[in-house]
Chains A and B, each alone.
Chain A
Amino acid sequence: MKKKKNKIKSPYPMSLLVPGAVLYMALFFVPTILSLFFSLTRWTLQEWSFIGLENFKLYFSEEYLRIGFRNTIIYGFLTSALKVIIGLYLASFLSSKLRASGFMRSVLFFPTLVSTIGVGITFSILLNPWEGVVNQFIKWVAGLVGFTTDGPGWLVDPNLLPIISVSMVDVWKGVGIATLIYIAGIAAIPTDYYEAASIDGASKRQQFYQITLPLVRPAMFTVIILSFVGGLRSFDLIWAMTGGGPGFITDVLGSINYKQYTSGYFGLATAGNVILFALVSILVFPLARFLNKREVTM
């Protein structure tokens, strides 16, 4: 059966297929194979020598890898979960009949359009524990209530707080996209359902849980997958805000790999990216399959 299927002639002429195929080979297939190859070498960009799986061994013996893995997972789950939840609330708010909803949607989407590095630097200034606006505000409020506090060390505390702070900024910056996808999902739900439900006497709350939530599920799955993958491989915001520090506290796999590149460990860093690719695949493929199944049974 399967063989026969493959033999079905493509409906497109060769001239349409070739440009795509060439681009795919040159820009995606060949580099992927090359990076798999160079992950097995010691490489200075100008010379390489084959060393088998040594890079992978070395990568896993890296002292700071544990922090990196932990942070990558925390960051991926936290940003994804918050975007999925907050995005849905925002989307249902912005899908209701509001004055100037177009304007409000634009405002929400605005952070997504701003450069990540710019956002990172801005927030690292706002979150400065001593001079930043956030802690100044906290101090002021605490003062009103009669407390004295310095406020938390958002980005400099030597425990989990810095990676969580960065995650929050990531959510603020990225929730616009999630909301946009949700809004499209909600708009695609036929209004007949709501009319029928309200005639049957369903309350607004019931309509949300019985109609909107199940029917917006395809959009939700898209948001989950996109934001989770984005969170796992994120690097730019973290680098701009903390540089992986203080020390190695906010390192993720992306920043560890970056530091290895800048140290000139090109083979090792390439191996690191192969590992990051594997990690994303291991976590995301089963998730995607699970979600797709649910979509069908719905």
Chain B
Amino acid sequence: MNVVRSSRIAKTLTLGVSVVLASAMLVAPARAATEITFQTNNSGTARDMWDALTAAYMKANPDVTIKVNYVPGGVEGDALLKSQLASGTAADVFIYNVGALLQAIDPVRNLVNLKNEPWMKTVNTGFIPSATGADGGIYAAPFGTAMGGGILYNKKVYSQLNLKVPLTWNEFMANNAKIKKAGIVPVINSFKDSWTTQLFVLGDHFNVAAAMPGFEKKFTANKIVLADNKATLAGFSYLEQIRKAGYTNKDAAATTFAKALEYLALGKGAHYPMLSAGIDTIVTNFPTKAPDIGFFAQPGTNAKSNGATVWMPSGIYISKTTKVLEEAKKFVAWTVSKESFQVQNKVVPPSGPYFIKGAPVSGNLTGVFTDLYNYMQKPGASYPALEFLTPVKGPNLSQICVEIGTGQKTALQGAKSYQKDLEKQSQQLGLAGW
């Protein structure tokens, strides 16, 4: 018995010693290199993009290793990042939204101010307000391209049926009637991925802002009742009108984002209210069909004021708890450099303009890119989405839109529900006036 026990102890000891030795050997060479942890979401083409970018950076900087952590996007990602920041375990560098969602993670407390970085001068000024904290500091470098929120459409269907890009909602509905007659689904909906259903509402902001000057200030101060204004109610009523007219796919409730893009690419559906970046997924999954797809702005009531609602790119942030601040800053600076854009162009051709002045654009540019670019070049034909102009954004909008789209609620009831959602969010964030 004694013998057995002592031999066990000996075994444990040797095992322990060898573990210590082995880990010492593992650590030793790593000491020379700096490790930067990096976190981004795994949605769409993000993984391809960051695998390529980090590989390129490490090749150019052999003394640096970048450890990438891919996490889910959406509400799961929000919750994860908030708890990481609160517990001091956030990655050194990470990607997250700018605008309303940035304000919700308290940039002044948690993030490194990048205002005085030399590359900041090259950032397109349109990006700055949505990356600015309450103290005036600028906390993000832009990553990715501008996105348009509007309608992706199948140009082949349009040319077959001899249709014109609509400038007003009535023209849009007239097109839909002809498309339905031809046996094609006029408007694809994908309620299974509920975030995709918000586009009619969020993408209508160009029209809301045109109809109600000074909207954002009043909205932020709780001086707007959504249900009382024709302009703010319009987006909700579009969802209702499409459902009532039977213009959507009958499997909408079970359709996902990827499936919806498949319908669009294959011409089973003609329109998909979506961000222009949806084209990236078509380029990946149906490369031969990508040229058939175009983009137009959400049509409003007035043909004379027609323009696109524009989404800002994501932000690249450095967390305050980082221990490798200088290296992290170097890496972020590289992501907005020419070399970085060359890699990005190669992985996915841009679906909209970059937010760095002089960033090279190359690769197989899609029709969606050109369409969006034209809106953004034309004076007065583009306007930022609401979430980049105010911290007020209710988390339940997507579910409320599903309720309207599936007929559980009318547009008016939906607008009222969303108003309550806004109230709750603003109170929880402690905003003035709510």
Residue ranges of A at the interface with B (Cβ–Cβ < 8 Å) = 42, 44-46, 58, 63, 128-131, 153, 155-156, 158, 243-249, 259, 261-265, 267-268
Contact = CB atoms under 8 A, between A and B. Distances in A.
Nearest to A264: B104
Chain B interface SS verdict (over half): helix
29 contacts: A42-B430, A44-B106, A45-B86, A46-B106, A129-B251, A129-B254, A130-B251, A153-B254, A156-B254, A158-B408, A243-B194, A244-B399, A246-B253, A246-B402, A246-B403, A247-B400, A247-B402, A247-B403, A247-B406, A247-B409, A248-B399, A259-B75, A259-B395, A261-B79, A262-B78, A264-B82, A264-B429, A265-B424, A268-B428
A129 B82 contact: no
Interface in B376-434: 395-396, 399-400, 402-403, 406-409, 417, 420, 424-425, 427-430
Interface in B279-297: none
A31 to B, nearest CB: 15
A243 B194 CA distance: 9
A245 B399 contact: yes
Given A158-B406, A267-B428, 9 more contacts: A46-B106, A129-B253, A261-B79, A262-B78, A262-B79, A262-B395, A263-B428, A264-B78, A264-B429
B191 interface: yes
Contacts of A264: 78, 82, 104, 428-429
A101 B194 CA distance: 46
Given A45-B86, A155-B254, A268-B428, A245 B395 contact: no
Contacts of A243: 194
Contacts, number: 82
A261 to B, nearest CB: 6
B417 A246 contact: no
Contacts of A129: 251, 253-254
Most buried by A among B254, B403, B407: B254
Contacts of B251: 129-130
B364 interface: no
A210 to B, nearest CB: 50
Contacts of A158: 406-408
B83 A45 contact: yes
A130 B263 CA distance: 14
A63 B408 CA distance: 14
Contacts of B75: 259, 262-263
A259 B420 CA distance: 16
Interface string B304-341: 00000000000000000000000000000000000000
B109 interface: yes
B135 interface: no
Contacts of A131: 254
A63 B420 contact: yes
Contacts of A156: 191-192, 253-254, 406
Contacts of B399: 244-245, 247-248
A62 B320 CA distance: 36
B393 to A, nearest CB: 10
Contacts of A268: 428
A102 to B, nearest CB: 35
